[in-house]
Copies of this chain bind each other. A is one copy, B any other.
Amino acid sequence: MAKASTELGELNAADRDAFVGALGGVFENAPWVAERAWSGRPFATVGDLHHALMAALKGASEAEQMVFIRGHPELGSNMARSGAMTQASRQEQGSLGLDRLSEAEFQRFERLNGDYRERFGMPFIICVGRHTRPSILSEFARRIANGRAAERAAALEEVGHITRLRLNEIVAGPGKPPTDGRLSTHVLDLVSGRPATGVLVVLKELGLGSEGVLKEAVTNADGRTDAPLLAGRALRIGGYEIAFHVGAYFAQRGVATSRPPFLDVVPIRFAIDEPEAHYHVPLLASPWAYSTYRGS
């Protein structure tokens, strides 16, 4: 895959070979997808280009699609560990730690991969950049119950997510399809009616123990963290916890409470299922009560 960025304008002006040369790696081992989309130039936006590429894929014969799908590596497989996959796939799977699975996890993925391959005759495709490990496992469980046609469609939908990310990385231009999500928070002090400043906020991915801490931050004068808790990429579907250290906050301000304080570290647990959305998860708290909600 080209690392350097290509301008959409150049692609619109390119001949077929140059076009395929620039985009051929976006669809795993399948330059023919770019070849067929070439005739649709010019594309007004990067999103239109992606749409045209996906249309070429979806318009291909079932046999072609199966060959394409079968060209993908299995998740967390020996192939992943031994290196026989494209650089793009390697990088995506590595971001989730699928190249560093424990032996037990590795066995589990192997078994699921095997079951899935036996049932559908293809590898399990999923856009790992939009998932946590637990959500990949639950998608495995859910999709393995699909019929063959529904599952082929599900695989192509994931290819859409994967290639949208890849395309955005290598093509510059207007109308990039959205691939980033955002998680933000806010703490309001119900006693003073003001933003709560100086509250320690710890974001964790659930199910990973102490390894799961993704970010620690302290609220600023506006009761927010200086930067979003998560941003700049797709959010991973999965379970999260934000722990708000309100006990220390109220103690420091001298607000009367009990000893130990009725509320100390308040955990808010929630799931993310829209990787490209904005999740706002605020806390409104007194020493004795709190509320939260999904805002946006």
Q: Contact at A193–B273, with CB atoms within 8 Å?
A: no
Complex CA gap A237/B261 in Å reads 11
Report which residue of A223, A286, A288 has the largest number of chain B beta carbons within 10 angstroms of its beta carbon: A288
Residue of B nearest to A135 (CB): B260
> Which of A58-66, A168-176, A263-271 forms contacts with chain B?
A263-271
A294 at the interface (CB under 8 A from B): yes
Q: Are A293 and B260 in contact (CB under 8 A)?
A: no
A279 to B190 CA separation, bound complex (whole angstroms): 15
Identify which of B269, B284, B286 contacts A266 (C-beta below 8 A): B269
A265 in contact with B271 given A193-B286, A193-B287 (CB within 8 Å): no
- Is the CB–CB distance between B293 and A188 below 8 Å? yes
The residues of B that contact A274 with a CB separation of less than 8 Å are: 258
Judged by a CB distance under 8 angstroms, whether A84 is at the interface is: no
* Residues in B whose Cβ lies below 8 Å from that of A135: 260
Query: Does chain B have a CB within 8 A of A289?
Result: yes
Question: A12 → chain B, closest Cβ, in Å?
Answer: 33
In the assembled complex, A114 has its CB within 8 A of some CB on chain B? no
Q: Identify which of residues 222-272 in chain A touch chain B, using a CB-to-CB cut-off of 8 Å.
A: 222-223, 237-239, 256-267, 269-271
A residues sitting closer than 8 Å to B (CB atoms) are 135, 138, 188, 190-195, 222-223, 237-239, 256-267, 269-271, 273-274, 284, 286-296
